[in-house]
Structure 1
Amino acid sequence: MPLEEPSLSDVALVCAADGGYFGLLSGLVRSLKADPTARRMALSVLDLGLDPEHVGWLEGQGATVRAPDWDLDFPGRDGFPRWFRAMTARPFLPRHFPGHAVYLWIDSDAWVQDGTVLAHYVAAARQGKLAIVPELDRAYFNHYRRPKLLGWDQNHKAVAFAYGLAAANRLGRYPILNSGVFALAAEAPHWALWAEALERALNRRRLSRLSTDRLMVKIIEQTALNSIVFADWKAPVKRAPATFLPAWANWLCGKATPMFNPASGHLVEPHAPHRPLGVVHLAGAGVQKRTFRLSTPDGGTVETMLTFDAVEAVKAG
């Protein structure tokens, strides 16, 4: 059921990109402007290396654009690519875009198909909770694989890299909370907890240097956010309250290919009752540039990429 939301004018909808990701970012922005719920929020963009014409286009769409510096210090920082500043900036969004009551982050490789879902994020955030989606769904392929040797998967490895083996043993079996879409109130304690957890992870002593060539580094801010939500009471930080939204609120296309409903023109869940997806997230190897053959509920197929522009073209016939 759509959630009634009296006002969204105090919500900052934040995204980020460099020049290489502008194509995806522009699709996200167009999806926001096409949606009656999303366009009531204040569009805010972190500039990670956009071209001047990109910034001009964004400002023409009503966006506030800010170029972040490094928000945290860590070994080898000066050698890191500029895009990694989005990772250190996320726990500091109220500082980069002050004056809003709620901050709703959306990765630039995602786009909004049904903005009514955004009101659920905002409502939970107003209650002092982190609104976020676990990487769990009956359609996601990773739930149907054989267990790996010793039972350790990506989450165990990510936590071990960030906080050590003891933390991985405690927290590794929890589902991954995907930080590609989340909402938090400006005054929530999560921001400070997250910043502290991320700083500890980035400054932890290791035998090898930090490098964005490693997945564990690319997702380290997500691991830090997970750690403050799932931390037990003996951990250095206390557990931060959260509410977990369903997979269609942040559908990970790399984990399950959606279906397409020609009658409604929506990407939908691949299993019945085929609910329309709220946020379409093009996370996963090759997902952003691949052409998919999508099944339809009536037994047909449609070939398309999963970007906002491609799906709009299919809808238009």
Structure 2
Amino acid sequence: MNTVVVTAADQNFFSMLQTMVESVAARVDPDHVSIRVIDLGLRADQRAALSDKVESFIQVDWDIVWPFTPNLPEHKKAFTVSPFLPKYLPDAETIVWIDADAWVQTERAIPTLVAGAQAADLAIAPQIHPCYPDAVSRGKVRTFNVPLLRGRARRITSWGRTQLRRRYSRAVANAALFKPTYNAGVFAGRGDSPVWSVWEQAYRTARIRRPRDLSDQAPINYAIHTGQISVSPLPATFNWICDLRLPAWDPERAQLVTPAVPYEPIHIVHVLGQSKYAQHTIKSLDGSPAPVDVWGTPLAATAEPT
């Protein structure tokens, strides 16, 4: 089976891209799994540094065009390329996408994603775990003063509902209110899966009025929650969102694990959002500071800030 692990990055994401590529290369059989990178503005020396592990660097088009597209920087294509991956990877039987700010910690990660892609149209992890702060992703209750009613009106909302309401109908957004948000930073699909055409159509249907509306995650959640594709929902350990909860360190296994019993190994660590920029101290299971950072890099080898 020909499996392609693909990601995208520009020169500013190179250090993260390098960690991601090296983590995959160390844990897959190169005879069955290849690594390819969508080049959104890498320098020649950066491509050369990865050439022994990356099969090819791919240039992509604006496959969906809006009036503001000509003014967008190249790296914004990362938000639109996902539905068109079979176009750029025509020989791939299974496509595994991993964001450049994620890295693979275990050998189970890629085979599990591939197995999930064989069992359904799409393998993807919802942003749900007992250690995460919200059962509904970033759920909140908003209170409004309503003088004529002599009281307050309360409206429950969530990140997922807000994103869907911005791009689709109120009915679609409300129906998804208590449903999980699926994170599009890690997923897998067969090359011939219907997910790609459905995802493309969901993107074309979305109201995209300005660059900030570009999102591959909202359209795929729309496709999932409206029942247009089947999903293999993977555990959160296959896309651990560090921005929601930092992992813990198990010194016996020398692995990052979930920060609560039974301390499951985290297969893919996603250093999402502010977690990639802030300084973090990961705790070992005994409460002491861990000897690694959120990228699994030994702290002794981390350069001192200048």
TM-score bucket (shorter structure):
0.7 to 0.9
Matches of 1:116 and 1:311, distance apart in 2:
26
| Paired positions, count | 289
172 and 81 in structure 1: CA distance in 2 versus 1, 3 angstrom threshold: farther
Residue 188 in 1 paired to residue 183 in 2?
no
* Corresponding residue for residue 69 of structure 1: 61
Task: Encode CA deviations 1:201-226: one digit per residue, 9 max, x unaligned.
Answer: 155xxxxx4033xxxx25x2111001
1:178 CA displacement: 0.4
Q: 1:87 to 1:202 in 2, by over 3 A?
A: farther
Q: Which residue of 2 aligns with 1:4?
A: none
What is residue 179 of structure 2 aligned with on the other side? 174
Change (3 A) 1:100 1:312: farther
More helix by share: 1
Shift, 1:303, TM fit = 5.8
Deviation for aligned residue 1:30: 1.1
Which residues of structure 1 form unaligned runs of 5+?
1-8, 204-208, 232-237
Counterpart in 2 of 1:247? 236
Counterpart of 1:108, as a letter, is A
CA distance, structure 1, for counterparts of residue 207 and residue 105 of structure 2: 35
The residue type equivalent to 1:125 in the other structure is: A
Equivalent residue for 1:211? 211
Instruction: Give the AA of the match of 1:210.
Output: R
User: Secondary structure at the residue paired with 2:8?
Assistant: strand
Alpha-carbon offset, residue 31 of structure 1: 0.8
1:164 corresponds to: 169
Match 2:118 to one of 126, 140, 153: 126
Q: Residue 206 of structure 1 aligns with which residue? A: none
**1:257 is matched with which residue?**
246
Partner of 2:216: 221
Whole-Å Cα distance in 2 between the matches of residues 127 and 259 of structure 1? 31
1:302 aligns with 2:290: yes
Asked if the contact 2:2–2:33 (Cα under 8 Å) also holds between the matched residues in 1, the reply is yes
1:198 — aligned with what?
A: 203
**Deviations for 1:80-137, whole angstroms, at most 9, x for unmatched residues?**
2211212211111111121110000000000000131221110121234310000000
What fraction of aligned residue pairs are identical, expressed as a percent?
28
- Give CA-to-partner distance per residue, 1:235-274, whole Å, 9 cap, x none: xxx5200010111111001101111011111000000010
State the TM-score, normalizing by the size of structure 2.
0.88
TM-score (norm 1): 0.85
Q: State the distance in 2 between where 1:70 and 1:39 align.
A: 32
Aligned partner letter, 1:42: S
RMSD: 2.1
The 3 A distance-change label for structure 1 pair 261 and 313 is farther
Q: CA contact under 8 A between 1:28 and 1:308: conserved in structure 2?
A: no
Counterpart of 2:147 in structure 1 is none
